[in-house]
Chain A
Amino acid sequence: MSTTTTARRRPRGSGLRGREAAAGWLFITPVLVILGLFLVLPVIMAAWVSVSDWTGRGSPFSGDVGFVGARNYRTLVAEGGLATQDFGTSIRNNAWYVVLVVPIQTAISLFLAVMVNRKVLRGRGFFRTAFYFPSVTSSVAITVLWLFLFSASGAVNKILSYLGAEGPNWFNDPRGVLHVTLSAIGIDQPAGALGAHGFLGITWWEWLAGPSFAMSALILMAIFTTSGTFMLLFIAALQNISGEVEEAALMDGTTGWQRFRYVTLPMLRPTLFTVLTLGLIGTWQVFDQIYTGTQGGPSKTTLTPAYLSYSASFNNGHWGQGAAIAFVLFALIVALTILQRFALRERNTVPRRKRFNQPPPAAGDTPPALPTSTGSQP
């Protein structure tokens, strides 16, 4: 082993190639050192802290910091105390956020891309600029603006009052949207098991509260700021679809909707996948908006795991718990991404096979013979 490597390395080690290899390593070392120090090492260190009782004083590697096993994780997930309740609440809040933001922002960005990508449209540049602009501004500035727009006597409620509706006091209203809707049709109390049982320290009834009005405002903000970015991804993908394919579909006498549904959409599948994945990963990391706008309030209904991880560590000194939350969040994101990949792949293959199978009943029962039989018909 060693002899062969030295034998092979020798010609490389000397002369031009060796110098080039050294240069290669030299070029890439700064990036590797920085990523190693501030990405890989932190993960390892946090893994230790998450199973330790470090309180934030001194080095986490000093002698008086003890190993506590999975205690921090158990406190979060299983013990049912305040920590578990907070964690459960934060997961619930963020789950509603993800469930609403990801599909809506994907649909809107795709819609905007299709609208703006038309060749006959005048002022395409203007519309693209307008729709993309919110994406370049900082989350802090947008949150400040949002606090004003959604304040009790703010612009949004003013518009609602013109429409004859009375808007809620958005950022101070902890009521869940779903609970409010249910109570409007007379359901105020949890039915049986929903109130009695629960998960992660809060009852199923509370899980089903829906996003609070405060969270709803943040949901609208996320859609407002990210749809532009994803619109650009969709536009790029749309421009890669050759005009010939669309033309061929046009010749076949399809309607606009059919062309979109059966020609454009399938070709956008990879981009759609990217947008959904990026959306999923991004929406589970809500932090800036909470730090700037609500600090988890009102009544913890905008608490998110990312913010909870921060406040548990920095404000309350529970560093082990903070690190544990970070790892649970990491695991959750990875798991959901894999799940989503699996779900989308499944749907990807099935309809295609179905589509190929549909014509045969007329042509015969052997699908592979289909191309030749249709080809010989005319």
Chain B
Amino acid sequence: MTTTSAASVAARGRSALPRPSRIRTDRSIVRRRVATSLTYAVLIAIAVVYIYPFLINVATSFKTDPDAAADPLSLVPATWSSAAYARLFLRSEFPVWFTNSVIVTICVTAGRVFLNSLAGYALARVDFRGRRVVFAGLVAVMAVPGVVLLIPKFLVINQLGIYDSYAGMIIPLLADAAGVFIMKNFFESIPRSVEEAAKIDGAGTFRTFWSIVLPMARPAVITLVILSFQGSWNELSHFIVSAQSPELMTLTKGVAQLASGALSQGNQYPLKLAAAAIMTIPVAVLFFVFQKRITNASTGAVKE
């Protein structure tokens, strides 16, 4: 600090301006470089904290029980073992859970996309009486926290006689107010002239919606697919209150019971972590396929 200022005074004395300014830029370059590498160091450290647990998860699922307990941090199993996977797929109910999760997720995703975009279109474009009231009602419904409905939902499902059936597991998940909003917002951004042309050609409201407007709403539909898929695949509490028989067990419920030690003696971490790893794969694949659209500005996903 003192040496550079002395140097700059000396330099100014000789009326040579370039030198002190070069010193200053040198210093700022150094400082910027230090700052940049510090930024990267911090970000990489955080990224390790965020990713390493998942690597441990996968690695441990290939370990033997004693190995998992002895060296919980290592990413390379001392002896590779696929016993956990063999047990899950060959000697447990795991395949049933998986199938159920697939069935429910596909039905819920397809149904949600269809019903929510229908409703969103009606709210955005179709002129009908009571539209404002319906809209206000949806906003109010969105404010009710989900877990609060846990007991109440069971009461209704039970009363309607659809407890312990696919219907009870799927139908209540079909409508979600947030999805309706996403679709409504998107439809509002499509120019009206498109539909007017279709109407002049004599297309009915559903025809206009189905073959003209919905294809244009692909970005919003994809967003809805991602949200619905992830939401229903990861759903736990609703399945707890809507079914109880083992044939209707989903992955989330099954693995949760596995975790609380229902099937096992000892810790059996490789087994549990293998189950956790498998149930993460579908959402992870979805995530990596649509990664750009998810992490690149979530505004773009809603409105484009």
Contact = CB atoms under 8 A, between A and B. Distances in A.
Interface string B143-167: 1111111111111110110000000
B141 A35 contact: yes
A184 B205 CA distance: 72
A306 B150 CA distance: 8
B1 interface: no
A45 B152 contact: yes
B25 interface: no
A64 to B, nearest CB: 16
Q: Label chain B's interface by main secondary structure.
A: helix
Chain B contact residues (Cβ within 8 angstroms of A): what range? 35 or more
Contact of A24 (B126, B148, B157, B180): B126
Contacts of B177: 35
Contacts of A193: none
A45 B286 CA distance: 38
Given A127-B47, A287-B147, A292 B256 contact: yes
A133 B51 contact: yes
A154 B57 CA distance: 12
B291 to A, nearest CB: 6
A205 interface: no
Contact of B237 (A120, A153, A287): A287
Task: State the majority secondary structure of interface residues on A.
Answer: helix
Interface stretch (A36-44, A354-362, A365-373): A36-44
Contact of B118 (A30, A126, A239): A30
A21 B127 contact: yes
Contact of A136 (B56, B287, B297): B287
Interface stretch (B2-10, B87-95, B269-277): B269-277
Interface stretch (B12-20, B128-136, B215-223): B128-136
Nearest to A306: B147
A157 to B, nearest CB: 8
Given A27-B119, A138-B233, A291 B151 contact: no
B284 A136 contact: yes
Interface in B266-304: 267, 269, 272-273, 275-277, 279-280, 283-284, 286-287, 291-292, 294-295, 297-299
Contacts of B134: 28, 32
Given A31-B175, A42-B153, A151-B267, 14 more contacts: A24-B131, A24-B205, A28-B134, A31-B119, A38-B157, A133-B51, A133-B284, A140-B279, A281-B145, A309-B147, A313-B151, A323-B151, A329-B145, A330-B145
